[in-house]
Amino acid sequence: MPVVVVTGSCGLIGSEVSMFFARQGFQVHGVDDNHRAVFFGREGDTSWVLEHLRRQIPGYRHAALDIRDREGVLALIDQVRPDLIIHTAAQPSHDRAAAIPFLDFEVNALGTLHILEATRRSCPESPFIHMSTNKVYGDRPNAIALKETATRYEYDDPAFENGIPEDFSIDQSKHSLFGASKVAADVMVQEYGRYFNMPTCCLRGGCLTGPNHSGVELHGFLSYLIKCNVEGREYKVYGYQGKQVRDNIHSQDVARFMFEFWKAPRVAEVYNLGGGKANACSILEAFRMAEQKTGRPMAHRYVEENRSGDHICYYSDLRKMKAHYPGWDITKNLNHIFDEIAASWMARLAAPTANSIE
Ligand SMILES: NC(=O)c1ccc[n+]([C@@H]2O[C@H](COP(=O)([O-])OP(=O)(O)OC[C@H]3O[C@@H](n4cnc5c(N)ncnc54)[C@H](O)[C@@H]3O)[C@@H](O)[C@H]2O)c1
């Protein structure tokens, strides 16, 4: 039975990945010390997810280990010697990082180095999949010519008709401290691939989402937006008239891509893993879709100033992923994603103790 170590196993992506790989017959070792509750407080608490993983995954093993603990990480990877490492543990918020710069860098950059080096020492042949982010491109996508429609911004340059490709520059733009710590991790993961010939890949995520997300204002755009709609809570829109565009990908499609990489790993690869053009929407469009799904009006307030370094329009060019892995495609469209998240929040808020994961 192949063994996978999933860091951040109680997070949105980590929990989905853990369930998915368990279904593929893997022994799952999760690593998560519930740091999300440290970053975001009670609302970010993921202990309910851990209970769920323990109930649902036969033989699930868990280490409540802080990935900043170098000796702990080296010892764990050496003891487990996994066949696959999926690294999703992170401080994931663009906006939160400025208030906690040391913690953000230690978790995102140094924590990643700990796991990479532990892998090199104990199981260098095992594929290493790192969740990176489109924030590594900084605000450079904002320099692309745009056109404005009634509900969104759209690229007005044929070179980006299919979205942002992987060779887009990550240099000389504003990233936020989070984006910068993730650049450090991303480049280090690539370097362990190129320098040590290890099968590593960086997945530069767009908006990753799904019904398992503990969405909070500072992280988890769609999950939080739909939660606000269901609760009748006010959603704050920061700048760009609410026409800023994001591409959304269901966490199951993320896990499915990881499985393709596991079956045919490559060295030092980088992929822009988002929903692509077809799964992109603006905040205004997301409001209308949420209202249609729940039948409840969307309360919102407009704040003139945009979030620092925020993308005006971003969607991933999926062509490289599809060329390298023709068996992979998006299986959950935007409509489906909205249905699932709305149903999940309605159930979770109606019976808060009955949090559930599909
Ligand atoms: N969700 C998105 O929209 C999105 C978009 C692009 C990239 N990403 C990336 O995907 C990855 C996963 O994101 P997510 O949305 O699942 O985040 P998440 O916050 O839901 O999950 C991260 C998990 O890591 C754990 N963790 C954090 N610091 C830790 C530490 N020091 N030691 C052990 N565990 C720790 C947290 O407790 C949490 O459960 C991150 O690298 C993030 O940057 C996410």
Please tell me if the CB atom of residue 11 comes closer than 6 angstroms to any atom of ligand 1. yes
Q: Is the distance from CB of 2 to CB of 59 less than 8 angstroms?
A: no
Q: How confident is the model at residue 307 (pLDDT cuts 50, 70, 90)?
A: confident
Encode pLDDT of 234-271 as tens digits. 999 999 999 999 999 999 999 999 999 999 999 999 99
- Among protein residues, the one whose CA lies closest to atom 30 of ligand 1: 66
pLDDT digits (tens, 9 = 90+) for 104-130: 999 999 999 999 999 999 999 999 999
Question: If you ran DSSP here, which 8-state letter would residue 115 be given?
Answer: H
* pLDDT value at 75 more than 60: yes
Confidence check: pLDDT of 213 > 80: no
Q: In the prediction, which pLDDT does 352 show?
A: 58
Q: For position 354, what pLDDT does the model report?
A: 46
Interval 163-188: pLDDT, tens: 999 999 999 999 999 999 999 999 99
Sheet holding 280-282, edge to edge: 207-209, 245-250, 280-282
The pLDDT of residue 357: 47
What pLDDT is attached to residue 358?
Answer: 42
- Other Cβ atoms less than 10 A from the Cβ of 230: the count is 22
pLDDT band at 214 (very low <50, low <70, confident <90, very high): low
Residues 229/235/238/244 CA torsion (nearest 10 deg): 0
| Vertex 228: Cα angle to 330 and 341 (nearest 5) | 30
Q: Is 13 in the pocket of ligand 1 (CB under 6 A)?
A: yes
Residue 353: pLDDT above 60?
no
Nearest CA to ligand 1 atom 38: 11
DSSP state of 241: G
Residue 356 in this model has a pLDDT that exceeds 80? no
Residue among 6, 12, 100 to mutate when testing ligand 1 (max atoms within 8 A of CB): 12
Summarised one tens digit per residue, pLDDT across range 197-209 is: 999 999 999 999 8
With b for 16 or more beta-carbon neighbours within 10 A and e for fewer, the 120-145 pattern comes to eebbeebbbbbbbbbbbbbbbbbebe
Quick one: angle between helices 283-294 and 334-350, nearest 10?
60
Rg (CA), the chain: 19
Identify the residue with better confidence: 89 or 94. 89
Nearest C-alpha to atom 32 of ligand 1 is from which residue? 66
Nearest ligand 1 atom to the CA of 92 is 43
